[in-house]
Amino acid sequence: MDLKLNLKGLLSKKKAKAKAVAEEAVPEPAEAVPEPIVIVTGAPVAPSSPGGFVDYYHRETGAHVQAVQRLKAFRLYTDAGESAGEAGDYWVRPTNGPPRVVKRESFESQFERGS
């Protein structure tokens, strides 16, 4: 009689333990992480202009800039002064520092487009 009771007790304990393990294994529902909002906006882009600024990285230092290649001539005015670009030159925005015009050959030899 005592043996039966003990066996029942053992089985109950095993069941309880298995249940506890099963409960532990159920993952908590993951908290939804909202997506960052990034909106490209502004003046309607002229047909001759490319879409928008693109990330580029220096081939040696990894320095990051944003740049856009202008298909036609332009002049850029900033606090740092005035500079002129020819068709194909890049309008470059460094992470730190004013935007500037960089000649096509010079820019493409130093920077590569981010993936």
Compute the least distance from the CB of residue 12 to other proteins, in Å: 46
- Sorted by sequence, the CB contacts under 8 Å of residue 92 that are 6+ apart come out as 56, 65, 66, 67, 99, 100, 101, 102, 107
Minimum CB distance to other proteins smaller for 59 or for 64: 64
Query: Taking CB under 8 A as the rule, which mask of x and - marks residues 29-48 in contact with other proteins?
Result: ----xxxxxxxxxxxxxx-x
Please choose, from the candidates 55, 54, 105, 101, the residue with its C-alpha nearest in 3D space to the C-alpha of residue 78: 101
Residues 60-89 that bind other proteins (CB under 8 A): 68, 70, 72-79, 87
Phi/psi at 82 (nearest 5 deg)? Answer: -115, 140
**Given the rule CB under 8 A, which residues bind other proteins?**
33-46, 48-53, 68, 70, 72-79, 87, 91, 93, 97-99
